[in-house]
């Protein structure tokens, strides 16, 4: 029979081999091998409720529930998800890929089970900085108040999220490991067990059996090392190889150097701005290096604030800094900004504060799937009164728009860009309003409003349309909210207007243009045909960014085909000549 130590070693070897080949969350899963083994030895994943927070720590759980064969397709189209997935297994009860949610789920399960007389056990493995999030403490406040509803909290204390965990909680956990008097969890009314060596399966299993027997809310404090058993990760002080692309398993280095990314361009420019302006500060929610702030932090350590996985606090803290005379730049993944929308609306915009939001991973992100696609910011943020939203088409425009944004003093601004290489610069023919005309064919009947990085696809589509005798204008609005009157005027002199963007169609730029033109249309001057050509209003699965965009027609061929279809009426006849 294989011993737990041997089993753990085999799982680690498997993870290193597979994840280095496909990409994924490597460091977190190497750190929870023994924790997950012990959890599965004590509890039944087919019966009990096993929760992982954040969900990227669930790879070992997937292996132990029969999904090891799927790791060759991890985060590939049609393959295994990088997070818990109810479609994959009944052992995945929730799909929590955003942090700090598991304890609230656990509290809800406990309340439901108490009312229904259900005897299933509830276990939440919480780590990788998830306990720095406000929701975790809202949940703890409720869990601790109900000793009759047992919940077992496995606290995976690895001292990190991406980088070392920040704040008073991290300091308190360190004191608990040193056996210092005083225990926050016990003071809240929770039973505390630990600290336990989280890489000793027997010790963790013993603690879990004790916790189960207590039949009340319990915290089992397990001390682990992120990246355990993989020297490149253990020696990586930056993020312990938290998430990797395709890398050499021997060195953990990419097989080929990558091109400059949107994130790296932002990092360079914000550092240059920081050198020129001492009022510019940066705020991040546990994503300092992933959001490109490494260079800024090295140059100006006193002017970068990592607040932990606490997006709501990040935004309102930035509002306070703006009140205090600073210009905060809040760097955040697009998908995570949705957690702080109320703070953007009521704490920043209501006061017309000069806070700049830099939204990394906007639009289709790729392998992280439905929860991480930044599909909603460009549809939701335009409803915020006064907020200005930009979408750069290339690296030069990102630098320009970032400088324009931090120069704004009377309202919030936001800049969105994807997770990808920035690509070559695209020159402008001329400036119209706040935007740039990128192409203007004589006698143009079609206006392509190219939002951000989709400008290249729009220009290629215009080349294809020219081969079909369809002259086209391609326009980059640069600032996509609020609506620029110059863009509306340009739209009025075209027969067909198509706004091409990687956001959800609901509330997209094309929808807003159509609404504005319809409102001002007259019988003598009917509005042009305007459409939002964007992503469907649903949750899209994981896969390469270019592949997902192509699947939804957001490539040159798809854009051209859509225009040609719109230029033909129901009888197959061409539309009449332009109205101009």
Residues with catalytic roles: 226, 311, 339
Nearest to 388 by CA among 474, 483, 476: 483
Backbone angles phi, psi at 295, to 5 degrees: -70, -40
Residue with tokens 């400036």, as numbered in its chain: 431
Helix (H), strand (E) at residue 523: none
Residue 172 is labelled as binding a ligand: no
Under DSSP, the state recorded for 304 is E
Is 531 flagged in the annotation as binding? no
Q: How far apart are CA 334 and CA 378, in angstroms?
A: 9
Q: Which two tokens stand for residue 35?
A: 């924790």
What tokens were used for 24?
């994924």
* DSSP secondary structure of 377-394: HHHHGGGSTT-EEE--SS
99 is in an annotated binding site: yes
* Cα gap 393→501, rounded to integer Å: 11
Please check if 158 is assigned to a binding site: yes
- Cis ω for the linkage preceding 482 (within 30 of 0): yes
| H-only helix segments in 189-250 | 201-214, 231-234
The answer to whether 311 is annotated as binding is yes
| 129 annotated as belonging to a binding site for a ligand | yes
The two tokens of residue 230 are: 């993989």
Asked if 63 and 38 count as a contact pair (C-beta separation under 8 A), the reply is no
Question: 357 near 328, Cβ under 8 Å?
Answer: no
Q: Cα–chain-centroid distance for residue 362?
A: 8
DSSP state of 76: S
The residue assigned the tokens 């061409």 is 574
Cite the DSSP H helix spans in 277-364: 294-299, 311-323, 334-337, 341-342
Q: Pairing mode, if any, of strands 435-440 and 430-432?
A: antiparallel
Q: How many CA atoms lie within 13 A of 275 on its CB side?
A: 9
Q: Please tell me whether 97 is known to bind a ligand.
A: yes
How far is residue 202's CA from residue 79's CA, in Å, rounded to a whole number? 34
Short-list 140, 118, 126, CA closest to 191: 140
Q: Is 59 annotated as a binding residue?
A: no
**Residue holding tokens 């701005």?**
273
Sign of CA dihedral 132, 137, 140, 144: positive
Cβ–Cβ < 8 Å for 474, 438: yes
- The per-residue b/e assignment along 193-225, b for 16 or more CB within 10 angstroms, e otherwise, is bbbbebbbbebbbebbeebbeeebbbbbbbbbb
546 is in an annotated binding site: no
Six-digit token string for 217: 């809310």
Residue 510 tokens, joined: 């094309």
119 in a labelled binding site: no
Binding residues: 56, 97-99, 128-130, 158, 230, 311
Binding residues for Mg(2+): 128, 158
Binding residues for thiamine diphosphate: 56, 97-99, 129-130, 158, 230, 311
């Amino acid at each position: 029979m294989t011993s737990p130590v041997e089993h753990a070693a085999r799982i680690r070897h498997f993870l290193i081999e597979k994840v280095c080949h496909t990409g994924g969350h490597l460091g977190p899963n190497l750190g929870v091998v023994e924790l997950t083994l012990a959890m599965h030895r004590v509890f039944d994943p087919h019966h009990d409720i096993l929760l992982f927070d954040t969900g990227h720590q669930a790879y070992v759980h997937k292996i132990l529930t029969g999904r090891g064969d799927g790791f060759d397709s991890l985060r590939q189209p049609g393959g295994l998800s990088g997070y818990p997935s109810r479609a994959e297994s009944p052992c995945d009860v929730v799909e929590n890929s955003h942090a700090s949610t598991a304890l609230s789920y656990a509290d809800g399960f406990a309340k439901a089970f108490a009312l229904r007389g259900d005897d299933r056990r509830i276990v939440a493995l919480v780590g990788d900085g998830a306990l720095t999030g406000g929701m975790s403490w809202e949940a703890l406040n409720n869990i601790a108040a109900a000793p009759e509803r047992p919940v077992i909290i496995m606290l995976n204390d690895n001292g990190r999220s991406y980088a070392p965990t920040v704040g008073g909680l991290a300091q308190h956990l360190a004191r608990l490991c040193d056996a210092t008097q005083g225990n926050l969890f016990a003071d809240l009314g929770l039973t505390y067990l630990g600290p336990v060596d989280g890489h000793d399966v027997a010790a963790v299993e013993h603690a879990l059996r004790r916790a189960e027997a207590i039949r009340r809310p319990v915290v089992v404090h397990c001390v682990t090392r992120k990246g355990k058993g993989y020297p490149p990760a253990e020696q990586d002080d930056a993020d312990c190889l938290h998430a990797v692309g395709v890398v050499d398993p021997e060195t953990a280095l990419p097989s080929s150097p990558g091109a400059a990314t949107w994130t790296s361009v932002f990092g360079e420019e914000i550092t240059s701005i920081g050198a020129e302006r001492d009022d510019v500060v940066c705020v991040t929610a546990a994503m300092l290096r992933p959001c490109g702030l490494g260079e800024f932090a090295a140059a100006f350590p006193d002017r970068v604030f990592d607040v932990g996985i606490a997006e709501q606090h990040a935004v309102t803290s930035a509002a306070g800094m703006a009140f205090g005379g600073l210009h905060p730049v809040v760097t955040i993944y697009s998908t995570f900004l949705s957690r702080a929308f109320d703070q953007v609306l009521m704490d920043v915009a209501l006061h017309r504060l000069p806070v700049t939001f830099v939204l990394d991973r906007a639009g289709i992100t790729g392998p992280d799937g439905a929860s991480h696609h930044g599909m909603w910011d460009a549809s939701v943020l335009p409803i915020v009164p006064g907020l200005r939203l930009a979408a750069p088409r290339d690296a030069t425009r990102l630098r320009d728009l970032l400088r324009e944004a931090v120069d704004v003093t009377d309202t919030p601004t936001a800049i969105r860009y994807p997770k990808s290489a920035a690509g070559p610069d695209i020159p402008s023919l001329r400036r119209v309003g706040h935007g740039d005309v990128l192409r203007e064919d004589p006698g143009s009947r079609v206006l392509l409003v190219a939002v951000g990085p989709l400008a290249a696809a729009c220009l290629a589509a215009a080349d294809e349309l020219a081969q079909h005798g369809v002259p086209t204008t391609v326009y980059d609005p640069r600032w996509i909210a609020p609506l620029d009157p110059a863009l509306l005027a340009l739209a009025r002199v075209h027969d067909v207007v198509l706004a091409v963007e990687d956001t959800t169609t609901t509330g997209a730029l094309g929808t807003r243009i159509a609404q504005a033109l319809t409102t001002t249309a007259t019988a003598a001057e009917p509005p042009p045909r305007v459409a939002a050509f964007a992503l469907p209003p649903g949750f899209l699965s994981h896969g390469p960014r270019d592949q997902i965009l192509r699947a939804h027609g957001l490539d040159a061929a798809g854009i051209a085909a859509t225009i040609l279809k719109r230029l033909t009426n129901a009888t197959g006849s061409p539309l009449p000549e332009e109205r101009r």
